[in-house]
Amino acid sequence: MISKSQISFIKSLQQKKIRKANGLFIVEGLKSVSEFINSDYTIDTIYYTENVMPKLGNLSQNIKSIEISVSDLTKISALTSPQQVLAIVKIPKHRDLTKQMLKGSFTIAIDGIQDPGNFGTIIRTADWFGVNHLVCSEDTVDVYNPKVVQATMGSLSRIYVAYFDLHEFLDDPGVPVFGALLEGKSIYETNFGNEGILILGNEGNGIRPQIISKIQFPITIPRFGEAESLNVAVSASIFCSEIRRNS
């Protein structure tokens, strides 16, 4: 059973300010919820429909779980097709990304991406390629937005994502700084080495001038046809693949 006020509270978690004030966000679907249960995140409550709990594994037994009807799940879900289970998860405490953590690995820096689907897809792709750190400008879409969480397909449970003043963060980070730009050295002629930061810009405006000034290596994906630009999640993927093909 779930009360009317609980329903309205869970729905309100679709708003960033309510998530921030309560330190909570929602995760939906068997696969994603299972991955958060098996991660460092702390689950506050699981709302599940009949017969779903056994599919969530042993670890879920220690978590507060409430069985609800399909119709109540529809009320609290942010999805057009609700998926059997919804978990309320605690937003983790901000951890600094130290220079030590940057060494010997790749970090993606996001400058103002706005589309939740694009951002979630970048996190999922980064997880595939073992790029485990993402840093974002403060105006980037909130990573705990339900549409972002959904598009990560569970990968958010494994990837470090933090919001910083990017300009400050990029002051002498101690590893090479690459930027995805329309003008630059061909990605096919670039040796990314074994560590660095890759900056990706906003969908319409690209990387801000003051952030461009921090780029040591402007890199471009050569164009062979006529399209004016690539989707930012597509660019991110091609960069991740090129970084790994040489590693």
- What does the binding site for a copy of itself look like in residue numbers (CB under 8 A)? 31, 117, 121, 124-132, 153-155, 158, 187-188, 221-231, 233-234, 237-238, 241-242, 244-245, 247
Q: CB 239 → a copy of itself: shortest distance, Å?
A: 10
Kindly tell me which of 68 and 126 has the beta carbon lying closer to a copy of itself. Answer: 126
Instruction: For 87-118, give one letter per residue: b (16+ CB within 10 A) or e.
Output: bbbebeeeeebeeeebeeebbbbbbbbebbeb
Compute CA 29 distance to the chain's CA centroid, rounded to the nearest angstrom.
17
Q: CB 13 → a copy of itself: shortest distance, Å?
A: 22
Q: Give alpha helix (H) positions in the chain.
A: 4-12, 16-22, 30-37, 70-76, 99-102, 116-128, 146-152, 166-169, 209-212, 232-245
Q: Which of 12, 3, 54, 10 is nearest to 28 (CA)?
A: 10
Q: CB 234 → a copy of itself: shortest distance, Å?
A: 4
Q: CB 231 → a copy of itself: shortest distance, Å?
A: 5
Q: Which amino acid is at 47?
A: Y
CA distances from 45 to 65, 67, 73, 87, 97 (A): 6, 11, 14, 6, 29
Tell me 156's DSSP state: G
Kindly tell me which of 76 and 110 has the beta carbon lying closer to a copy of itself. Answer: 110
Q: CB 36 → a copy of itself: shortest distance, Å?
A: 13
Gap between the Cα atoms of 65 and 33, Å rounded: 12
Kindly tell me which of 69 and 247 has the beta carbon lying closer to a copy of itself. Answer: 247
CB–CB of 178/216 below 8 Å?
A: yes
Q: CB 140 → a copy of itself: shortest distance, Å?
A: 19
Structure tokens at 104: 């010997």
Kindly tell me which of 27 and 131 has the beta carbon lying closer to a copy of itself. Answer: 131
Gap between the Cα atoms of 36 and 155, Å rounded: 9
Kindly tell me which of 2 and 151 has the beta carbon lying closer to a copy of itself. Answer: 151
Q: CB 159 → a copy of itself: shortest distance, Å?
A: 9
Kindly tell me which of 21 and 182 has the beta carbon lying closer to a copy of itself. Answer: 182
Q: Which of 124, 112, 86, 96 is nearest to 167 (CA)?
A: 112
Kindly tell me which of 42 and 186 has the beta carbon lying closer to a copy of itself. Answer: 186
